[in-house]
A = this chain, B = another copy of it.
Amino acid sequence: MGTNILAIAGGVGGAKLALGLSRLLGPGELTVVVNTGDDETFHGLHVSPDLDTVMYALAGMTNPETGWGIRGDTFRTLEALGRLGAETWFRLGDIDLATHVRRTELLRAGRSLSEATRELTAHLGIAHAVVPASDDPVRTIALTGEGDLSFQDYFVRRGCEPRITGVRFDGAEAARPSPAFAEALESADAIVFCPSNPVVSIGPVLAVGGVREAIERFGGPRVAVSPIVGGQALRGPAAKMMAELGEEVSCAGVARRYVGVCDALVIDTVDAAEAPSIEALGMRVLVTPTVMRTDDDKDALAREVVGFVETWRAEPERASRRG
């Protein structure tokens, strides 16, 4: 029915659903907006880990063993950089490195991150729009007992080991949504929050100047897929971070985070018993398998989510969205 979806994604989990959505929807029906709070400069190169994870997923290049990086990539340049005295804890593969070299070249030539990303995705044969949340710098900082750590320092180098007391999104308030994100916030029929870390993947996107307000007043269904399944994060530090921030590590805990910006939460069948406590927050609930191990799983979840949205939009009382 030509539903135009704005999907908001972080890294691996988000990329999985984004791939499913891209296989279901035409290029004109999907805009994937990606977190840039994880962006970091390594070896003088601009690395956008979440954008890369989503791009590589949609290009069919993803390393299936990790969910990020490129299948069959090697690390010869990185190893040589190590011999030259550079730090190598952030693993950049040889093929992956071309992305960062090219992006950095384009940015230094004055192109925006949106323009650089469009150039990269076009050459990777990606038909759908994959866009940064913002062209302005937003940097996620983990506040820990050991001081403030840049996200990759916390996430990769320290393996999320330090206990966090909070997170901060430097630059977010002054940042503006990228042109394609702003356009999708106006024209999309529905917003889908992919099953990404609500704290450090979705959080920085919502923190971009004007985004939360635009989503609050968005006219169509706003559906999040819970990244918490059975009281645990499927991957990454979402559960640990939520617990350290004093939040309930459950679908209801995720729902509480999304009150005001989401109308519905998609939860896994193992969490069906949580439905009443989520509905008590004023949200609809869709209970369906959400664990994406295979491409069939991604397709199935994408179909469920889009079907859910389309049924909703067809309801007679659609105008009163929060019914």
Which residues in A have some Cβ–Cβ distance to B below 8 Å? 43-45, 74, 76-78, 80-81, 83-86, 94-95, 97-99, 101-102, 104-105, 108-109, 119-120, 123-124
Question: Do A98 and B84 have beta carbons less than 8 Å apart?
Answer: yes
Do A77 and B98 contact each other (CB < 8 Å), given the known contacts A85-B119, A123-B84, A123-B85? yes
Do A76 and B94 contact each other (CB < 8 Å), given the known contacts A44-B108, A120-B84, A123-B84? yes
Question: Do A102 and B84 have beta carbons less than 8 Å apart?
Answer: yes
A118 to chain B minimum Cβ distance, whole angstroms, is: 12
Q: 20 additional contacts, CB 8 Å, given A74-B74, A81-B102? A: A43-B102, A44-B101, A44-B104, A44-B105, A44-B109, A74-B94, A76-B94, A76-B95, A77-B94, A77-B95, A77-B101, A80-B94, A80-B97, A80-B99, A84-B98, A84-B102, A84-B123, A85-B119, A86-B105, A94-B94
17 contacts between A and B (CB under 8 A): A43-B102, A44-B105, A74-B76, A76-B95, A77-B94, A80-B95, A80-B98, A81-B98, A83-B98, A83-B124, A84-B98, A84-B99, A84-B119, A84-B123, A85-B119, A85-B123, A86-B105
A73 to chain B minimum Cβ distance, whole angstroms, is: 8
A312 to chain B minimum Cβ distance, whole angstroms, is: 40
A120 to B84 Cα, complex, angstroms: 6
Do A45 and B86 contact each other (CB < 8 Å), given the known contacts A77-B94, A80-B94? no
